[in-house]
């Protein structure tokens, strides 16, 4: 603990009393009456020390400074902050390169300037690639990290230290005060992801960018894009043009569908990369493939009469339909013994891999009920080799652990199992094979599950139960499945499936406020997470989201400032 300030992360007796009082207030005080015991930052930093005295005032004279020798990516981070702060403040906030040798002979900061400083400290070892420090004083906010990526994560913390009005798109009155703090911060997990299904319902480039911006705000670093399913194919493959011309022309409910050209996809990948988010493309196989099979019937030539596989539901609502627009699963399958299947998959994987700088390729692999076990293993072993030949790491839903995967491959646990239940066996199998596990239990972090019975009334599903804001927050990825510990867990990811979600407003309603909690699960040490304390910080995000136009659900167990 500093001799000049009070650490709010140290286990002092007064802290226990303060947190207990905060808990009581949260339970008995009128909605909106509570105040967090610390700056309401999500994810909660590893260490945050409140310092005595005045904080930093953002003014018309403030400039954003980077070292004259800083690489361009640091300048880009500084410009990103400038662009975030300008609309609400109306300030110019020029980005300036200059020497950072600002200390006088007594080692004190130069107080001649009002500035926000981004500095590389030359050491990414102690805090990792994404760690940073942030120090605020009356004359300066200084963010230091070993990488530009770490500086960008610190930028998001600075954003939350400013008043909520900083999120407005039009000039506000201010004042723009940053409290005097000293923060040391770094993530718990390497993988902090969010998934978006654009196959069941298509979302546009601008809608997906909006989602990416919201992820960046809470330090997510992986964006899993589900690009194909029974209802639609959403990524242009130049060597197989019917995939989008035909397979991209519909969606759940029979809507117009849509697809990303390769230029659109590259635009999204670059947009995410500018925010230090890695895009993970998914082409779901060997099931969930009806849109591909309708586009190219030779892909399901092993089916009776060469018909789209969903027509196996003879006499059902789907019979004799050229496309599948429902929400059932498990009826489609590629013909895994047909050479054309592997020609198809090699082309698809190579084209997408060529425009995806990130190291991962998600091959799906779930709910392949029409593919016998031996055939499934054979197919996935072939996918393993094709993906590796394209320089990518294979990732799939937990079922891929049944195949002969390479060490370092990734299995995504999605079942509702906990502890030693049988539903966790695939995660344990993955660990035994040297795979890493990304935790996405459906009854905790599937963002498409309703919050409560009937809530929201027209959105969401309940097959994994209902997932309240508290339930989505109060679990530990490293202790969720017996035998799958932090040693094996790469991180956490929150999927958002779009059977009932037709646009970005729907997506926001289902994702927020729960997605903020997933961000904290992935970043903050488990010992520093407490629901009663967290919900106060979560409530403080409400005014920010209001100003940003986020369509979030005002959960009744969160004391929103306006009473919800």
Helix (H, G, I), strand (E, B) or coil at 228: strand
Q: Are 516 and 537 in contact (CB under 8 A)?
A: no
Question: Please, which contacts does 467-471 make with residues 24 or more away whose CB atoms are closer than 8 Å?
Answer: 467/443, 467/514, 468/555, 468/557, 469/513, 469/514, 469/517, 469/535, 469/538, 469/553, 469/555, 469/557, 469/558, 470/531, 470/535, 470/557, 471/443, 471/444
- The number of CA neighbours under 13 Å toward the Cβ of 363 is 31
Tell me if 196 sits within 8 A of 220, measured CB to CB. Answer: no
Residue 184's Cβ-count burial label (10 Å; 0-12, 13-18, 19+) is: middle
Helices and strands, counts by H and E, the chain: 15, 20
Longest dimension (CA), the chain: 86
Point out the residues that are catalytic.
367
Sign of the Cα pseudo-torsion (270, 272, 273, 279, in order)? negative
H/E element, 459: none
Single out the residue of 536, 512, 3, 452 nearest to residue 220, CA to CA.
Answer: 512
**Contacts with 186 (C-beta within 8 Å, 6 or more apart), sequence order:** 46, 127, 128, 130, 131, 132
Find the helix packing angle between 531-548 and 514-523, rounded to 10°: 120
Residues linked to residue 98 through DSSP beta bridges, in sequence order: 67
Q: Which letter does DSSP use for residue 189 in this model?
A: -
Taking the alpha carbons at both ends of the chain, their separation in whole angstroms is: 37
Q: Which of 448, 301, 285 is nearest to 375 (CA)?
A: 285
Is residue 142 classed as helix, strand or coil in its secondary structure? strand
Give the H or E element holding residue 342: helix 339-354
Tell me the chain's radius of gyration from C-alpha atoms.
25
CA distance 491 to 185: 17
Q: Cα–Cα–Cα angle for 99, 105, 111, nearest 5°?
A: 60
């Amino acid at each position: 603990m500093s001799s000049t300030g009070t650490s709010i992360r140290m286990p002092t007796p007064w802290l226990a009393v303060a947190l207990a009082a905060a808990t009581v207030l949260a339970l008995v005080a009128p909605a909106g009456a509570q105040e967090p015991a610390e700056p309401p930052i999500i994810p909660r930093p590893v260490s945050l020390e409140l310092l005595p005295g005045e904080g930093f005032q953002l003014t018309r004279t403030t400039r954003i400074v980077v070292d004259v020798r800083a690489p361009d990516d640091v300048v880009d981070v500084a410009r990103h902050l400038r662009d975030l702060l300008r609309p609400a403040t109306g300030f110019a906030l020029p980005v300036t390169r200059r020497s950072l040798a600002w200390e006088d002979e007594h080692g004190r900061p130069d107080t001649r300037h009002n500035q926000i400083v981004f500095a590389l400290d030359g050491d990414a070892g102690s805090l990792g690639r994404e760690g940073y420090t942030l120090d605020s004083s009356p004359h300066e906010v200084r963010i230091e990290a070993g990488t530009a990526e770490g500086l960008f994560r610190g930028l998001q913390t600075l954003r939350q230290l400013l008043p909520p009005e900083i999120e407005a798109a039009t000039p506000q009155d201010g004042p723009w005060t940053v409290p005097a703090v000293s923060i040391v911060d770094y993530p718990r997990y390497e993988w902090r992801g969010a998934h978006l299904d654009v196959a069941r319902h298509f979302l546009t480039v601008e809608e997906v960018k909006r989602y990416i911006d919201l992820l960046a705000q809470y330090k997510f670093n992986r964006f899993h894009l589900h690009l194909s399913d029974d209802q639609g194919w959403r990524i242009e493959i130049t060597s197989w043009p019917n995939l989008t011309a035909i397979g991209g022309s519909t969606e759940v409910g029979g809507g117009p569908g849509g697809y990303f050209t390769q230029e659109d996809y590259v635009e999204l990948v670059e947009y995410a990369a500018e925010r230090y988010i890695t895009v993970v493309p998914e082409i779901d196989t060997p099931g969930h493939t009806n849109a591909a099979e309708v586009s190219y019937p030779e892909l399901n030539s092993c089916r009776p009469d060469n018909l789209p596989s969903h027509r196996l539901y003879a006499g059902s609502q789907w019979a004799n339909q050229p496309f599948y627009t429902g929400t059932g699963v498990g009826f489609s399958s590629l013909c895994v013994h047909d050479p054309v299947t592997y020609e198809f998959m090699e082309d698809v994987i190579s084209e997408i891999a060529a425009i995806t700088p990130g190291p991962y390729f998600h091959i799906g692999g779930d709910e392949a009920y029409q593919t016998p076990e031996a055939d499934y293993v054979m197919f996935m072993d072939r996918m393993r080799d094709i993906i590796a030949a394209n320089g990518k790491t294979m990732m799939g839903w937990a079922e891929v652990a049944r195949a002969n995967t390479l060490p370092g491959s990734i299995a995504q646990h999605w079942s509702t199992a906990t502890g030693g239940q049988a539903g966790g066996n695939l995660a344990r199998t993955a660990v035994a094979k040297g795979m890493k596990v990304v935790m996405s239990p459906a009854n905790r972090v599937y963002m498409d599950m309703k919050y409560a019975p009937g809530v929201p009334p027209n959105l969401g599903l309940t097959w994994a139960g209902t997932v309240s804001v508290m339930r989505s927050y109060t679990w530990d990825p490293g202790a969720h499945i017996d035998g799958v510990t932090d040693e094996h867990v790469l991180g956490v990811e929150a999927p958002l499936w779009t059977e009932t979600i037709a646009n970005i407003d729907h997506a926001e309603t289902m994702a927020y406020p729960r997605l903020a909690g997933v961000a904290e699960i992935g970043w903050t040490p488990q010992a520093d997470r407490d629901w009663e304390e967290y919900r106060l910080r979560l409530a403080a995000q409400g005014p920010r989201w209001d100003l940003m136009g986020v369509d979030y659900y005002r959960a009744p167990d969160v004391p929103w400032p306006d009473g919800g």
